[in-house]
Amino acid sequence: MGEIIGLGLSHGPFIGYVEEDMANMCKRVLASPKTPPELKDPKNWPAAMRQEWGDDEALSSAYKHRAQLVEGVRKLRAELDAFNPDFVLIWGDDQYENFQEDMVPAFCVYIEEEYEVKPWSRSSGLGTTTNVWNEPADTVMRVKGNTPGAKLLAQSLLDRDFDIAYAFKQSHSDMSHAFWRTVSYLDYDRKGFPYPIIPFHVNCYGRGMARMLSRLENGPRFEEGETTPSGPSPRRCFQLGQATAQIFRDSPWRVALIGSSSWPHASLSANNHFVWPNVEEDKARFAELKAGDYEAWRDIPLSQLEHAGQHEMLNWVCLAGAMNELGLKPDFLDFAESWVFNSSKAVGVFK
């Protein structure tokens, strides 16, 4: 019988980038001509956002925010080391990295011996490559894969009637940010990351892909308000997590299952004109998680997640399904609220 631990964290850029850059996404929206003029004035913001912005454009808050996140990922790394898994599975999304116009699968298991990326070769969503480790642009990160586990997972999911895609190499890009940032943050103190990984793609963006593609210089054009087909439903992600837990519970391996993403994003919250995230929705989801009410996440309509800008929560819903199947409860949780830094963030350990 296998043994399993669950971890959850954010792969947003805010842990790895310097405080002076952390409000860049918010500043960019405030400077946009598309943003209503009244929302560029802090007096029209929620009180908590005004407080976070302060009199230094959120610089003081940035130090506090990242310190809380770093403490959280260090706690997760200590739990990971104590568990000492044979490999780590990461549920993460792709943002026009390996899945572009030619193919966008609902789910995809990567099956490779090694994953490689130059993490600082191009700017993040913050518009910078300056990082807290002062690693240069030509830095290469290499992470071992676990092909036996990935092959077993893909085949077993197909045997259970999940129409899973799988890939033996990256197509358009190197390792997607959801995966390399997860590894990078769990190795925040740069002592090395010895655990092989299985990257497991979830199409979180779905109907929001049209807006993402329209921002590309040479991307396809979409009419205002036009959408692309949706991603998988929370219910299907939950079922996928349950099946994944069953497969590895019946295996001979020790496995860490990781859901990687923030929850509501300001950059996805059209109802707030992309200025601030739907923090109250974040708090509701966190309360459900704290109570161990995983099935509440299963039953959320996809349209509700999309309206709240919670597209990427599908990665955590996969994790919730697995934890529900195994009867694992939250052992450690922390919530870093933010109105300025694109999203609040959560970290968790389930065992």
Taking each helix axis as running N to C, give the angle between helix 234-249 and helix 147-159, from 0 to 180 degrees, rounded to the nearest 10: 120
Element (H, E) at 125: none
Q: Is the pLDDT of residue 99 over 90?
A: no
Beta-strand pair 197-202/141-144: unpaired
Radius of gyration of the chain (CA): 19
How far apart (Å, rounded) are the C-alpha atoms in residues 275 and 295?
31
Contact yes or no for 210/222 (Cβ under 8 A): yes
Q: Is the pLDDT of residue 334 over 90?
A: yes
Check residue 341 and give its pLDDT.
Answer: 97
How far apart (Å, rounded) are the C-alpha atoms in residues 74 and 70?
6
Confidence of residue 210 (pLDDT cuts 50, 70, 90): low
Check residue 26 and give its pLDDT.
Answer: 95
How far apart (Å, rounded) are the C-alpha atoms in residues 293 and 289?
6
Beta-strand pair 330-336/345-350: antiparallel
Check residue 54 and give its pLDDT.
Answer: 97
Query: What is the per-residue pLDDT across 174-185, written as a single tens digit (0 to 9) for each?
Result: 899 999 999 999
Check residue 224 and give its pLDDT.
Answer: 67
Token output for 276:
């601030």
Confidence of residue 208 (pLDDT cuts 50, 70, 90): confident
How far apart (Å, rounded) are the C-alpha atoms in residues 339 and 276?
5
Token output for 263:
């929850």
How far apart (Å, rounded) are the C-alpha atoms in residues 324 and 292?
8
Q: What is the pTM of this model?
A: 0.95
Token output for 282:
């974040």
Contact yes or no for 316/93 (Cβ under 8 A): no
225-228, long-range: CB within 8 Å, 24+ apart, which pairs? 228/104
Query: What is the per-residue pLDDT across 260-318, written as a single tens digit (0 to 9) for each?
Result: 999 889 888 889 999 999 999 999 999 999 999 999 999 999 999 999 989 899 999 99
Query: What is the per-residue pLDDT across 246-260, written as a single tens digit (0 to 9) for each?
Result: 999 999 999 999 999
Among 278, 291, 286, 299, which residue's Cα sits nearest to residue 329? 291
How far apart (Å, rounded) are the C-alpha atoms in residues 38 and 46?
13
CA trace torsion 88, 89, 95, 97 (10° rounding): 70
Check residue 72 and give its pLDDT.
Answer: 98
Query: What integer is the mean pLDDT of 229-238?
Result: 95
| The amino acid at 351 | K
Going from the N-terminus, what domains does the chain have, and what CATH number goes with each? 3-350 (3.40.830.10)
Among 298, 310, 233, which residue's Cα sits nearest to residue 271? 310
**Beta-bridge partner residues of 203:** none
Q: Which residues contact 338 (CB under 8 A, 6 or more apart)?
A: 52, 61, 65, 277, 279, 344, 345
**Beta-bridge partner residues of 201:** 92, 108
Q: Where do we find the tokens 């040479």?
A: 218
Query: How would you classify residue 190: left for phi > 0, otherwise alpha for psi between -120 and 50, otherwise beta?
Result: left
Contact yes or no for 73/346 (Cβ under 8 A): no
**Beta-bridge partner residues of 198:** 89
| The amino acid at 297 | W
How far apart (Å, rounded) are the C-alpha atoms in residues 107 and 201?
5
Mean pLDDT of the chain: 93
Check residue 184 and give its pLDDT.
Answer: 97
| The amino acid at 343 | S
